[in-house]
Structures are given as structure tokens and as C-alpha cells.
Amino acid sequence: MNADIIALFAEHGPMTVSEAMAKGLGQICGTCNNYNARYYLNQLLNGGQLTRRSARRQVRGSIGCYPRQANVVIYQVRSQ
């Protein structure tokens, strides 16, 4: 499973958990919940295969789906 997660991030580049779930992370991890998928990403972070950073992006708000600015966590494959 870890190799599949790393391959997903290597193929699609830096992504948030929500973006990764839309691209198949949920199927790899066997979950539809972002928090459960984040558990597997944190294991890869602790193992040194992924890195995490914070960035400001435009996201859809929950009320009326209006766009807003928010800090998001972006995961990416650690460069060798």
C-alpha cells in the first residue's frame, strides 16, 4: 500500500488530502474518510518518504460554495 501511495503522489505531484482522495487515495487506503487516509500519510511522513507543508489556497466554502482563502496542508514525495 505504501508504494501505491507514493506512486500516486509521484504521478500527480503535490496535493492536499482531499485532492488525493479524488484521484484514488481512498481506494488505495480502503477508506472514504480524509482523516483515516491522513493516518497512512502520516506513517509515510514519519518514515521520511513524504513531506508536508502549509500553503494558502482558494477553496470552496461550505456555505453557498463561495470561494475563500484558507491554509491547507500539502503532501508531496520527498526529493532524493
Angle between helices 2-12 and 34-47 (to 10 degrees): 90
| 62 vs 79 pLDDT, higher one | 79
**pLDDT per position as a tens digit, 26-73:** 999 999 898 999 999 999 999 999 999 999 988 877 777 788 888 999
Task: Note the pLDDT of residue 6.
Answer: 92
**By the 8 A CB rule, do 24 and 12 touch?**
no
Residue type, 21: M
Question: Rounded to the nearest 10 degrees, how much is the dihedral formed by the CA atoms of 21, 27, 38, 22?
Answer: 0
Residue spans of alpha helices (H) in 1-80: 2-12, 17-22, 25-29, 34-47
